[in-house]
Amino acid sequence: MKGLQNGDIKSLPGPDDIGRSELPNGITLLSRSNFNSPSVVMSGYFNAGSIFDTNEKLGLGYYTAVSVMRGTQDHTFHQIYDRLESVGAGLGFSASTLTGAFSGRSLCEDLPLILATLSECLRNPVFPPQEVERLRAQFMTGLAIRAQDTSAMAALKFDELIFRDHPFARPEDGYPETISTISPQDLMDFHKKHYGPRGMVIVLVGAISHPEAVDLAQTALGDWQNQDQEALPSISPVKPLEEEIREHIPLPGKSQTDLIMGVLGPRRASPDYFAASLGNSVLGQFGMMGRIGDVVREQAGLAYHASTSLNAGVEIGTWEVTAGVNPKNLDRAIDLIYAELNRFIGEPVTEEELADSKSNYIGRLPLSMESNAGVAGALINLERFQLGLDYYRRYPSLVNAVSVEQVLETARTYLHPEKMIVVSSGPPLIKKRVKK
Amino acid sequence: MPEPSTVHKHKLANGLNIHLKEIHTAPIISHWVWYRVGSRNEVPGKTGLSHWVEHMQFKGTPGFPASTLDKAISREGGVWNAFTYLDWTTYFETMPADKIELGLRLEVDRMNNSLFSAEEVEAERTVIISEREGSENEPLFKLSEAVQAASFNSHPYRNEIIGDLADLRSITRDDLYGYYRQNYSPSNALLCMAGDFNAAEMLHRIEDLYSAIPSGEIPPLDVQEEQHLGEERRISIKGHGETTYLLLAYRAPRASSADFFTFSVLDSLLCGPSSLNMFGGGGISNKTSILYQKLVDTGLATGISGGLQATVDPYLYEITATINPNHSLEEILAVIDTEIEKLQSHKVREEDIHRAIKQARALFAYGSENITNQAFWLGYAEMFATYDWFEKYLENLEKTTPADIQKLAERYLARGSRVIGSYLPRKGKGAK
């Protein structure tokens, strides 16, 4: 088995060059220095996602996150962006089901500015009604565009069918009818209950030392407290699927149909994770999109893209096949994918296939961290999934420990072709599909 | 902050240009081979040839059969891809430094030995049509294609890079192979490399690999550049959905013109700063740009962007607005015209120009974090100017004066010389 040389492993983030500190108010700060470029990347998250939204006001957490930069007690929307854009810096907020998130970058001399802006947006947003209305118009346009996007509509329906009554079934950016009910007061209330330092993580990567990073973070956010901050609710497991469900979302006027086929997959912390991930590589990633890409794109020429993804989160995971096909080829593509899935759970992958994917996983690791943003993402993952500061140094041995038998066993645990969600979105189907 | 390292430039006897830059911050090398061929080289009836040839370059040689190429790169932990543009086609591999030999051997091999088997050509025809159909799902692709066609009378820039659907159905294996043989040779190529290597040793290895390949003859290209339209053309597309888009296209200067740098500053002021980075770096938001404030802050539009491309011949400056459904396209157009008239009749402030330059400097710093992006920079500017264009980019921006911006706006952004394209939701049944 090929592997990283000792020197290459040392170039990866590890306990000797990642700084990790906990501020007294509960904020965790990770940093890694890179003085080769005069810039700094910042990213992070906090416990204020759409999981706190009611069904009637779905999108509230996302709306709140995007609104915090629309005006604070000290600066208007225009002043906030004028300060940032004048120095070529950037800062933005978003939200997913579990967390709110932020990311920014600047020249290192301007890092105090983006940290100060982060602080005032997190702590003192005022949600000016006029700005809230402008954002609403932008959201509504975004949702109208989403309604015409075959890929997005297939993904929405897939989540709805696979997660059903679970919080992950709902889109964090809501629906037009829920966004239209959200008021500035709702945003203020959400902010008051859910924005706080507890559980917040900040990552800084670039031309800065860890002690400097701690000082700057402490200055910006060290005295932040919120006694009202609610804890994340416990999350119930998702019920397994009992049968295949097929649905098609018709969108007239489209040329291509987007297809998603999938099942529930392992969580990131699951002992099955590495076997599932390497198996997924063989199935639909390695080379030109693995076995699925080979059959659907290379041999049959049915699609420009046809691949698989393992989406392992903190609480849940999915294992999905996606493809974009000509509408008349939809059934054929589904049949080819099913055949490959049955082969994948019917017999072990070859030793050569597994060795190729292992080699790819280990070899590409330095490439994924060639930029500050890449390293910041890697540090976020360390903290989000509690992987340990030595994780990237241990990574080659974790990958190499997986056997073909484990890949097969894991595939059989999760991939049940007779119990899959099969969703497509594109032109209306000419012949009526069977809906079970 | 380390000093910027030297770029080693060489030219082999067969015409292959080579740019090498040592960067020792990570055990990675990014290797690019650029060809001066893109949709600008195509003739009516054969549009899409450049892009399809790019696809066929992944379909194997006798030495590296089709199914082995992707696997070989992936196995070594590398990434590779290719891009076809108006003026160029480029291929790259970013790999662990000790594995770059594979990338070198693949690229030299497919410069000369690609198979273009009839079977692979047919399989790829449906893949490319599928790629085009995926783009056609997007209203802005349809609008952009129509505006591009209306913006030129005969210059090949009028065609979408992926090609016309009828051409994609009729192009033959011989068309593709002939085009490949004509355009893929050392004298039409530039090899660039950045990363963890010794430049002298690497140059020696490249000479070993490429010296035996004949130079190749590049037929002269008979393309007449097109100046300003001299009239206003309006086109409108109707389609499904609820969203209206406005796309304005003005003639823009060639990248090698001094006007291009002034235009970059003007674009930054009008629509927000654009990045020259292809990989990483990210962008800067545009919320303090003139048109964001006048269109989005006022609720007339929900999004605005500007687009200026670096090209060999004069291409287009495009302004795209997503219209708030409660307002009309004509209202948005009137505001854009008013703001452009202000640029034509008044000088902007010096401090606004300085701000645009600081933004450009920051974007350069962000792009320099990434070795793949630095290798991209080594070749990119050579496809429409010289590497010097890139090295002096900030210096040239700094020469911009308020009077330059005013003159440029008068010359290029005339109301009577542009294409106004609109995408309008179709009313009635099924319009939603």
Give the predicted TM-score (pTM) of the model: 0.91
| Rounded Cα–Cα distance for residues A273 and A266 (Å) | 6
Q: From chain B, pick out residues whose CB is under 8 angstroms from the CB of A88.
A: 273, 284, 358-363
Q: From chain B, pick out residues whose CB is under 8 angstroms from the CB of A138.
A: 296, 302-303
For residues A204 and A37, the answer to whether their CB atoms sit within 8 Å is: no
Domain ranges of chain A: 6-221, 245-426
Would you say domain A245-426 falls under CATH 3.40.50.300?
no
For residues B300 and B324, the answer to whether their CB atoms sit within 8 Å is: yes
pLDDT of residue A412 exceeding 80: yes
Identify which of B124, B282, B293 has the shortest CB distance to residue A373.
B282
Q: From chain B, pick out residues whose CB is under 8 angstroms from the CB of A4.
A: 96
Whether A6-221 and A245-426 share one fold: the answer is: yes
Can you name the residues that pair with B31 across neighbouring β-strands?
A: B93, B193
**What digits encode the pLDDT tens for the residues A283-328?**
999 988 999 998 988 788 888 889 999 999 998 899 999 999 989 9
User: When comparing pLDDT for A371 and A48, which is higher?
Assistant: A48
Question: How much is the pLDDT for B361?
Answer: 86
**Residue A7 pLDDT level (bands cut at 50, 70, 90):** low
**Which of 371-390 (A) contact B at CB < 8 A?**
371-374
| Rounded Cα–Cα distance for residues B269 and B272 (Å) | 6
| Rounded Cα–Cα distance for residues B331 and B325 (Å) | 12
Question: How much is the pLDDT for B431?
Answer: 33
In DSSP notation, B42-97 reads: --TT-TTHHHHHHHHTTSB-SSSBHHHHHHHHHHTT-EEEEEE-SS-EEEEEEEEG
Cβ distance of A286 and B361 shorter than 8 Å:
no
Question: How much is the pLDDT for B206?
Answer: 98
Cβ distance of A144 and B243 shorter than 8 Å:
yes
| Rounded Cα–Cα distance for residues B382 and B398 (Å) | 22
pLDDT of residue A279 exceeding 70: yes
**What digits encode the pLDDT tens for the residues A150-186?**
999 999 999 999 999 899 999 999 999 999 999 999 9
Q: Where are the alpha helices (DSSP H) in B65-197?
A: 66-75, 100-112, 118-136, 139-150, 165-170, 173-183
ipTM: 0.87
Phi, then psi, of A12 in degrees rounded to 5: -80, 155
Question: How much is the pLDDT for B5?
Answer: 65
Min Cα separation A426/chain B (Å): 9
User: When comparing pLDDT for A74 and B68, which is higher?
Assistant: A74
Domains and CATH numbers, chain B: 7-210 (3.30.830.10), 232-425 (3.30.830.10)
**End-to-end Cα spacing for chain B:** 55
Q: Which CATH number fits domain A6-221: 3.40.50.20, 3.40.630.40, 3.40.50.300, 3.30.830.10?
A: 3.30.830.10
| Rounded Cα–Cα distance for residues B237 and B235 (Å) | 7
> Residue A249 in 3-state DSSP?
strand
- Quote the percentage of chain A above a pLDDT of 70: 97
State the 10-residue block means of pLDDT for chain B, 432 residues long.
71 97 91 97 97 95 87 90 97 94 96 95 92 91 97 96 97 97 96 96 97 89 91 94 94 96 95 79 84 95 94 97 94 98 97 92 85 93 92 92 97 96 75 32
**Residue A13 pLDDT level (bands cut at 50, 70, 90):** very high
- What mean pLDDT do residues A216-223 have? 96
Question: How much is the pLDDT for B428?
Answer: 46
Question: How much is the pLDDT for A436?
Answer: 40
